Amino acid sequence: MREIAYREALREAIYEEMEQDENVFVIGEEVGRYGGAYAVTRGLIKEFGARRLVDAPISEASTVGLGIGAAITGLRPIVELMYVDFVPLAMDQIATQMPKLRYMTGGQLKIPMVLRTQGGTGRSAGAQHSQSLEAYCVHTPGLRVVMPATPADAKGLLKSAIRSDDPVVFIEHKALYARKGAVPEETCTIPLGKARISRSGSDVTIVTYSRMVLIAEEAAGALEAEGISAEVIDLRTLSPMDMDAVSASVGKTKRAIVVTEAHKTAGMSAEIAARITESNWTDLTAPVVRIAAKDVPVPATHLEKLSIPSVDEIVDAAKTLCGE
């Protein structure tokens, strides 16, 4: 199977959906002539023109608001916010309008839009451009939240998101854009709300998503060398969350570690750990362990790497849980 970069997989998904459905269009800062801050939409303006690759002004609130209005009229907008750090600038639109209009109108209105954005560390971009704010969106009922880890998932999940009649917040990790992986050439979609077993194991379950899947897989490899079999669950979609897959894994291993790049306090690690405790209370032989980003503004330079979960932290936690 061919291997392409994460950003190329996303571009393919957008191209294929725009080619198939003339109602699909992209709007955001520098998405047209420049080709996107991370080159995801590069070249698409030559194929589809400036009416469907719309360069927006620097106003996140108005851009998301336009997307909502377009979705109400029957179009399928893909709205790009350059960084997830800018989500608070459009929080009224994202938390009050996007997820609630279909509910409040009894289904008379649909909001078939995708809000694409980029989060996470890896580029030493500082405290205002390196955050992981997925919990802001997961906390809001009515929003689907997707965070793919691989090029294949990025393409398949984005295609499903674009076709969804519900609003989807699609968060890409900036450190994954250049990473290559196997992606089928044929058109394929991946259903929202379905986790995948990234690596099978029998002694401990590691639940994670986005770039932390790669860190967890590396830790699982190191644990295998020490005789501990770790199963890695890639959630892929945070809302809705596939707790059936998580519960089945924890029911088998009896131990669980949750790993996130988001901050620990009141973050996704707390929510996932609580759900595991509720669903697998009688299975667990030890409390669920959370490994998350330090509760500090994301630092730059070498301190950035020290602020997020590491392979060593996961390995140490797994060894402690397994009595090593």
Q: What is the pLDDT of residues 229-254, one digit of tens each?
A: 999 999 999 999 999 999 999 999 99
**170 and 37 in a common domain:** yes
Q: Which residue range forms the structural domain that includes residue 234?
A: 196-321
Please determine, for residue 93, whether its predicted confidence score (pLDDT) is greater than 90.
Answer: yes
pLDDT of residue 194: 98
Average confidence (pLDDT) over 36-41: 96
Q: By C-alpha distance, which of 319, 308, 125 is closest to 208?
A: 308
Please determine, for residue 74, whether its predicted confidence score (pLDDT) is greater than 80.
Answer: yes
**76 and 16 in a common domain:** yes
**Domain boundary residue, one of 182, 217, 250:** 182
Q: Which of 60, 134, 231, 304 is catalytic?
A: 60
Please determine, for residue 187, whether its predicted confidence score (pLDDT) is greater than 90.
Answer: no
Per DSSP (E only), the strands in the chain are 3-5, 24-28, 53-55, 76-81, 114-119, 144-146, 168-173, 180-182, 196-199, 204-208, 230-234, 237-239, 256-263, 289-293
DSSP β-ladder status, 3-5 and 180-182: antiparallel
pLDDT of residue 227: 97
Average confidence (pLDDT) over 158-184: 97
Burial class (CB in 10 A: 0-12, 13-18, 19+), 112: buried
> Quick check: is 27 in a domain?
yes
pLDDT of residue 1: 84
Confidence (pTM): 0.97
Residue 316 belongs to domain with CATH number: 3.40.50.920
Average confidence (pLDDT) over 188-204: 97
> Quick check: is 13 in a domain?
yes
Non-local CB neighbours of 120 within 8 Å, separated by 6+ positions: 130, 132, 173, 174, 175, 210, 211, 261
> Quick check: is 235 in a domain?
yes
Q: By C-alpha distance, which of 32, 30, 33, 38 is closest to 9?
A: 38
pLDDT of residue 232: 98
Q: What is the pLDDT of residues 275-287, one digit of tens each?
A: 999 999 999 999 9
**265 and 145 in a common domain:** no
pLDDT of residue 186: 87
> Quick check: is 191 in a domain?
no
**280 and 149 in a common domain:** no
**178 and 214 in a common domain:** no
pLDDT of residue 72: 97
Instruction: Label residue 127 by pLDDT band (50, 70, 90).
Output: very high
Burial class (CB in 10 A: 0-12, 13-18, 19+), 159: buried
> Quick check: is 161 in a domain?
yes
Structural domain total, the chain? 2
pLDDT of residue 36: 96
Q: Which of 129, 134, 172, 261 is catalytic?
A: 129
**143 and 236 in a common domain:** no
**227 and 177 in a common domain:** no
> Quick check: is 31 in a domain?
yes
Percent of the chain at pLDDT > 70 equals: 100
Note if 60 is an active site residue: yes
Please determine, for residue 100, whether its predicted confidence score (pLDDT) is greater than 80.
Answer: yes
Q: What are phi and psi of 273, to 5 degrees?
A: -60, -40
Residue 175 belongs to domain with CATH number: 3.40.50.970
Note if 263 is an active site residue: no
Q: Which residue matches tokens 């996704």?
A: 268
